[in-house]
């Protein structure tokens, strides 16, 4: 059985692949492979495909099978069934907006590493008790943004975060400058209009801009 330590190491490796993990909402699975290739060409290898559309699992399956350099994960994981379906589709990591006891129990039994969401210090502490050292801070900007996350660095030095929610290219450097942030998540790399238009060159350009962002850790 995969240990929590092993799964946390795998999550950390994903978070360190690039300064930004794109959060993708995909309506047409046929767009998945060219989109992923554009992101990888721009220097972004970790890709979170959210379970917000019917096309999501097919998109994950296609990226896992056809884009060798991509590390595809699943987002908006809410329940045990989501973890199981994503693992079958070939996802290599999972991300949740928050947590529930049932989801954490399922994650304990799954080989798929989970990046769980937390929005308060109490939630972060509860996840720390369960062995999690790498968390998603969500929704980052509405929950308190840079000031709140920076304030956690001293009392919760064991934790590293991927803040997501309301972050764009202009604000990402403020989060990446924090000592407890390894990467940020954002949807600006794969906007709906560019996906619908098949503007893969435009998505590659957005990826290139994100890949060169500086981080402190």
Q: Among 7, 12, 48, 129, which one carries the catalytic annotation? A: 48
What is the model's pTM?
Answer: 0.97
Kindly indicate the confidence band of residue 217, based on its pLDDT and cuts at 50, 70 and 90. confident
Q: Among 129, 136, 204, 214, which one carries the catalytic annotation? A: 136
- Measured CA to CA in angstroms, residue 66 lies from 34, 36, 60, 129 at distances of 10, 9, 10, 38
Asked if 146 contacts 181 with a C-beta cutoff of 8 angstroms, the reply is: no
214 is catalytic: no
The residue count of the chain comes to: 217
CA 173/CA 167 separation, integer angstroms: 10
CA 212/CA 166 separation, integer angstroms: 20
pLDDT of residue 99: 97
196 Cβ contact list (under 8 Å, min separation 6): 27, 28
Residue 1 has pLDDT above 90, yes or no: no
Three-state DSSP at 23 gives: strand
pLDDT of residue 18: 98
Strands 134-137 and 184-186: unpaired
Kindly indicate the confidence band of residue 205, based on its pLDDT and cuts at 50, 70 and 90. very high
Strands 20-24 and 71-75: unpaired
Enumerate the domain spans of the chain.
4-211
- Measured CA to CA in angstroms, residue 82 lies from 64, 74, 105, 198 at distances of 17, 9, 13, 28
Class of domain 4-211: alpha beta
pLDDT by residue (tens digit) across 3-35?
999 999 999 999 999 999 999 999 999 999 999
pLDDT by residue (tens digit) across 68-123?
999 999 999 999 999 999 999 999 999 999 999 999 999 999 999 999 999 999 99
Q: What is the largest CA-CA distance in the chain?
A: 46
pLDDT of residue 2: 87
Residue 202 has pLDDT above 80, yes or no: yes
């Amino acid at each position: 059985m995969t240990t929590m330590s092993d799964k946390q190491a795998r999550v950390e490796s994903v978070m360190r692949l690039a300064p930004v993990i794109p959060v993708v909402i995909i309506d047409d699975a046929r767009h998945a492979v060219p989109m992923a290739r554009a992101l990888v060409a721009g220097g972004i290898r970790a890709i979170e495909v959210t379970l917000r559309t019917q096309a999501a699992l097919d998109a994950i399956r296609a990226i896992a099978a056809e884009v060798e350099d991509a590390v595809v994960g699943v987002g908006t994981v809410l329940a045990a069934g989501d973890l199981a379906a994503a693992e079958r589709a070939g996802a290599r990591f999972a991300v949740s907006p928050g947590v529930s006891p049932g989801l954490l129990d399922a994650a304990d039994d799954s080989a798929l590493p989970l990046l769980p969401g937390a929005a308060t210090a109490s939630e972060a502490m509860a996840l720390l008790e369960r062995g999690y050292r790498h968390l998603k801070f969500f929704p980052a900007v509405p929950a308190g943004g840079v000031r709140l996350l920076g304030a956690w660095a001293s009392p919760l030095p064991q934790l590293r975060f991927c803040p997501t929610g309301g972050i764009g290219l202009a604000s990402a450097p403020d989060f990446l400058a924090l000592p407890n942030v390894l990467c940020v998540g954002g949807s600006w790399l794969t906007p709906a209009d560019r996906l619908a238009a098949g503007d893969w060159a435009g998505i590659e350009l957005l990826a290139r801009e994100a890949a060169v962002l500086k981080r402190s850790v």
